[in-house]
Amino acid sequence: MAAIPDVPVGTSTAVSGLESTFVDEMGGLSVLWQGAEVPDPKLLVLNEELAASLGLDAASLRSDDGVAVLTGSAVPVGSKPAAMAYAGHQFGGYAPLLGDGRALLLGELGDGAGGRVDLHLKGSGPTPFSRGGDGFAVVGPMLREYLVSEAMHALGIPTTRALAVVATGRPVHRNGIEPGAVLARVASSHLRVGTFEFAVRRGEILQSLADYAIARHYPGLTDLPATGKDNRYLAFFEAVLEAQASLVARWMLTGFVHGVMNTDNTTISGETIDYGPCAFLDAFDPAAVFSSIDHSGRYAFGNQPAVLKWNLARFAETLLRLVDSTPDDAITAVTAVLGSFEARYENHYTAGMAAKLGLSGASLERSLIDALLALMAEHGADWAGSFRALADELRGKAAPLDELVPREHIGPWLIRWRNALQQQGRGSAEAADAMDRVNPLYIPRNHQVDAALRAATAGDLTPFEELLEVVTHPFDRRDEWAEYALPAPRGFSDTFRTFCGT
Ligand code: AMP
Ligand code: MG
């Protein structure tokens, strides 16, 4: 571990009002810390709308002082930046000490709607948790997290948000030398399954952590008793399971491959976190893997619900002694909740799929979904494009669908689908419009993200800015954005790889 510096002293006034409930109340789960010096800071992108919603002044954030706060090199008056401790199962193996190896929790802010959010930096320099890593991050991956998390938000999927990316002027060794950067992100908290895996081995703090998480994310449960059959810890487990089942269903409906679903990347809030090796499907393929380190396909697209359940089982293990003092009874109780995962996931997925197909949940048979998925997989049909093409089909425009799946193959399925639509008494035009409201036209396509990030790394931010504008308006058709709706050239995804921890 690096030496612990003096407690950072705040001097900056660019950001005010930061609170530190996690640091103050969860002793032993963080280390006060400060970001590294930044040689030549340059603000690359600032989310002014998000800043405003948090009561932050955009002009102050753009000032030298504000940019220094956004890198962690300057500390706001009264704030207590800290690196958070956590453990985690990575690719199935347990790592007892991970933690913020290149990140800092700057503090917490009101979200403007009565809630509390974390302001957090990624790439701010080495910490006691760096484990031999350099503590830094580089422009491409930080802009990638900015772009994809803001796209997810625009798609209505719970996620951390991106506030800013600052280039640091520091050369960082990756595959060669790359320009360093810090991402400022906002999350409803950074509590993870891994935080509980760390705390469970540290005695009393476990219960305090669970109570803190309940108060922050599931306040409706705070009045439940601490012990007994209907205790708040079992209800807490159920609430997290429900939030995560809903989240992973949203990923599966959107064609999102997270890529590194380790337990330290599974939040307690139910938000998507950590956009390292993530990617969106072009051609539908349940076995799709994009991460360069996922050799076994553990985190393949189609495995995501099962892996999530596995992660939730690790979470349940941390809560056992809170759920019931008799171990066997605790195991029975959490196992029953865990057993409800598939049905909950299925409910979310089927309801979402019904909406994507212009149907009401009640009028959709699972076999209709499965038959469509089989056709899409067989023909490598573009995931996002297929649902837009089906809506066009209802409008009498056959060409888009013809490009994806041969008509002689999808014909029988189309008849079944139209029958289902007819049965629920919804007109074709009405169903098509409803479909277009839930099926995005623009998602962050891998080939476009890749090109925009290459240009940004080389100093040209224009393609990134344009792509950001497009993917944060995923349902707004504009003629000049036509190329953004197109899938990657066939074959691109076969070789496209993403990198973790870069
Ligand atoms: P991630 O893959 O981003 O979820 O990171 C997993 C763990 O590796 C976390 O504990 C990170 O803080 C740590 N980590 C990733 N990259 C670095 C780096 N360049 N320096 C230090 N720690 C890192
Ligand atoms: Mg992570």
Please identify, by atom number, the ligand 1 atom nearest to the C-alpha of residue 500.
2
Pocket probe for ligand 1: among 98, 139, 260, the residue whose CB has the most ligand atoms within 8 Å is 98
Tokens standing for residue 489: 């050239």
Q: Identify whether residues 253 and 304 lie together within a single domain.
A: yes
Query: Does residue 286 form part of some domain?
Result: yes
Q: Which residues pair with 176 in a beta bridge?
A: 174
Query: Does residue 324 form part of some domain?
Result: yes
Tell me the percentage of the chain whose pLDDT exceeds 90.
Answer: 91
Per residue in 360-411, pLDDT tens? 877 689 999 999 999 999 999 999 999 999 999 999 999 999 999 999 999 9
Q: What is the mean pLDDT of the chain?
A: 95
Which of 139, 163, 187 is the last residue before a domain boundary? 187
Q: Identify whether residues 99 and 160 lie together within a single domain.
A: yes
Q: Identify whether residues 305 and 231 lie together within a single domain.
A: yes
332 has pLDDT over 80:
yes
Q: Identify whether residues 305 and 377 lie together within a single domain.
A: no
Q: Identify whether residues 434 and 477 lie together within a single domain.
A: no
Per residue in 287-306, pLDDT tens? 999 999 999 999 999 999 99
Query: Does residue 365 form part of some domain?
Result: yes
Q: Identify whether residues 109 and 231 lie together within a single domain.
A: no
- What does pTM read for this prediction? 0.97
Whose Cα sits closest to atom 13 in ligand 1? 101
Tell me the percentage of the chain whose pLDDT exceeds 70.
Answer: 98
Q: What is the C-alpha to C-alpha distance for residues 149 and 468, in angstroms, rounded to an integer?
A: 10
Query: Does residue 12 form part of some domain?
Result: no
Which of 187, 217, 250 is the last residue before a domain boundary? 187
Q: Which residue is listed with tokens 């892996």?
A: 307
Contact 267 CB / ligand 1 (< 6 Å): no
Residue 47 alpha carbon to ligand 1 centre in Å: 24
Per residue in 251-268, pLDDT tens? 999 999 999 999 999 999
Query: Does residue 236 form part of some domain?
Result: yes
Tokens standing for residue 29: 């789960």
Q: What is the C-alpha to C-alpha distance for residues 4 and 221, in angstroms, rounded to an integer?
A: 37
Q: Please compute the mean of the pLDDT values over residues 348-352 and round it to a whole number.
A: 96
45 has pLDDT over 50:
yes
Q: Identify whether residues 148 and 121 lie together within a single domain.
A: yes
Q: Identify whether residues 242 and 373 lie together within a single domain.
A: no
Which of 286, 314, 348 is the last residue before a domain boundary? 348
Choose the catalytic residue: 264, 274, 282, 436: 264
Contact 123 CB / ligand 1 (< 6 Å): no
7 has pLDDT over 70:
no
Q: Identify whether residues 134 and 263 lie together within a single domain.
A: no
The predicted pLDDT at position 6 comes to 59
Query: Does residue 218 form part of some domain?
Result: yes
The predicted pLDDT at position 502 comes to 56
Q: What is the C-alpha to C-alpha distance for residues 157 and 179, in angstroms, rounded to an integer?
A: 30
15 has pLDDT over 80:
yes
Contact 101 CB / ligand 1 (< 6 Å): yes
Q: Identify whether residues 44 and 81 lie together within a single domain.
A: yes
Contact 141 CB / ligand 1 (< 6 Å): no
Residue 101 alpha carbon to ligand 1 centre in Å: 5
Q: Please compute the mean of the pLDDT values over residues 100-110 and round it to a whole number.
A: 97
Confidence of residue 496 (pLDDT cuts 50, 70, 90): confident
Confidence of residue 341 (pLDDT cuts 50, 70, 90): very high
CB proximity list for 338: less than 8 A, separation 6 or greater: 241, 309, 312, 313, 316
Per residue in 452-492, pLDDT tens? 999 999 999 999 999 999 999 999 999 999 999 998 887 78
Query: Does residue 430 form part of some domain?
Result: yes
Q: Identify whether residues 135 and 27 lie together within a single domain.
A: yes
The predicted pLDDT at position 137 comes to 98
Q: Identify whether residues 143 and 279 lie together within a single domain.
A: no
CB proximity list for 492: less than 8 A, separation 6 or greater: 282, 446, 447
176 has pLDDT over 90:
yes
497 has pLDDT over 90:
no
208 lies in which domain range? 193-348
Contact 106 CB / ligand 1 (< 6 Å): no
Domain count, the chain: 4
Contact 444 CB / ligand 1 (< 6 Å): no
Query: Does residue 500 form part of some domain?
Result: no
Please identify, by atom number, the ligand 1 atom nearest to the C-alpha of residue 127.
21
DSSP result, 388-417: HHHHHHHTT--HHHHTTS-HHHHHHHHHHH
Backbone angles phi and psi of 31, in degrees to 5: -130, 125
Q: How far apart are the first and last CA of the chain?
A: 21
Q: Can 264 be counted among the known catalytic residues?
A: yes
Whose Cα sits closest to atom 16 in ligand 1? 501
211 has pLDDT over 70:
yes
103 has pLDDT over 90:
yes
Q: Please compute the mean of the pLDDT values over residues 165-174 and round it to a whole number.
A: 98
209 close to 199: Cβ distance less than 8 angstroms: yes
Confidence of residue 1 (pLDDT cuts 50, 70, 90): very low
318 has pLDDT over 80:
yes
